[in-house]
Structure 1
Amino acid sequence: MAYVVLVLLTRKPDLSPEQFKEHFENNHLPLVKSLFGPLCPVPHRRLYLARADNKSGDASRALYPPLMLKGNPEDINFDCISELSWKDEKTFKGFKQMMKQPELMANIAADLELFVEVERVVVIGEVVDSLPRGWD
């Protein structure tokens, strides 16, 4: 059974959503792939929140409120949901074991420091992909 982890990432306050995404996609992910190789999560989906246009050019987080259909934009304090999947818990444990290498983690931490203010990580217990009976 797949082992799934969600990571909620909040960008640095001086970065625009575009700058955050650009660094994550073009710098951080290639770094992680180079360090972890075959133990990297597959698939690794990134869900970036839709944000209101900011015409001022100021990267302040408050100037990029999330596009909400319901709820309060101030309650959303993250910019990306990153869904990491491994084929099973054993593969994830290999990944986690590699994370204990100080030099490897120092490289990851140094890069995160460039674009992430807060990182939250949670393990997903069950994934249900189908619609409830009668919805299809």
Structure 2
Amino acid sequence: MPYKCLTFIHRKPTTTPTAFRTAWETHMQLLMALTHPHQPLESVRHYPARTDSAIAQRAPVSARPADANAPLVLLGDADLVTWDCLSECTYRDELHFQQFYAMLSEKGVGERIAASEERASDMGRLKVVVVGETVVDRFEGR
């Protein structure tokens, strides 16, 4: 059974969303290279649209706060969207995840990954959640 983790990553307050995304994508390339052959089967990263993006220009005016770095939130409080990247990693099973996680402690590997994470993000705010049940609805042919 697939094993999934969601990671909520935050940029440093002094880093722009664009610079954060560039740094985090560079970090992910390093992470995948250093954890081979135990890297996830799939890593999907979601970055919130910002109020200065092209998509935001087509959104309702009420969704566009003055702060260009604020996430585009159509309903609810934008201040509650505290993450800058939501990463979903899929492993074959729990053993595969444990093998990946063990690689993070290997001499030389862990230090390089930690240094890269520290350059790219606010590690004090990092959250990793194991996904339990997933429900998928597909509406094709519309």
Q: Give TM class, smaller chain.
A: 0.7 to 0.9
| Secondary structure of 2:27 counterpart | helix
The alpha carbon displacement at 1:89 in A equals 1.1
Letter in 1 for 2:10: T
Unaligned runs of 5+ in 2: 54-66
| Bigger shift: residues 44-53 or 99-108 | 99-108
Matches within 5 A, 1:1-136: 1-25=1-25, 27-53=26-52, 63-117=68-122, 118-131=125-138
Q: What is the SS of the residue equivalent to 1:22?
A: helix
TM-score (norm 1): 0.84
Q: Which has the higher strand share?
A: 1
Aligned to 1:58: none
Structure 1: unaligned runs, 5 residues or longer: 55-61
CA displacement 1:26-59 (0-9 Å, x = unmatched): x2112112210121112100000011119xxxxx
| Runs of 4+ deviating beyond 6 Å | none
Give the structure 1 partner of residue 56 of structure 2.
none
1: CA distance, partners of 2:24 / 2:111:
17
Alignment-mate amino acid for residue 5 of structure 1? C
Q: How many residue pairs end up in the alignment?
A: 125
> Following the alignment from structure 2 to structure 1, what is the Cα–Cα distance between the partners of residues 22 and 94?
30
Name the counterpart of 1:57.
Answer: none
State the shift of 1:108 in Å. Answer: 1.0
State the percentage of identical aligned residues: 34
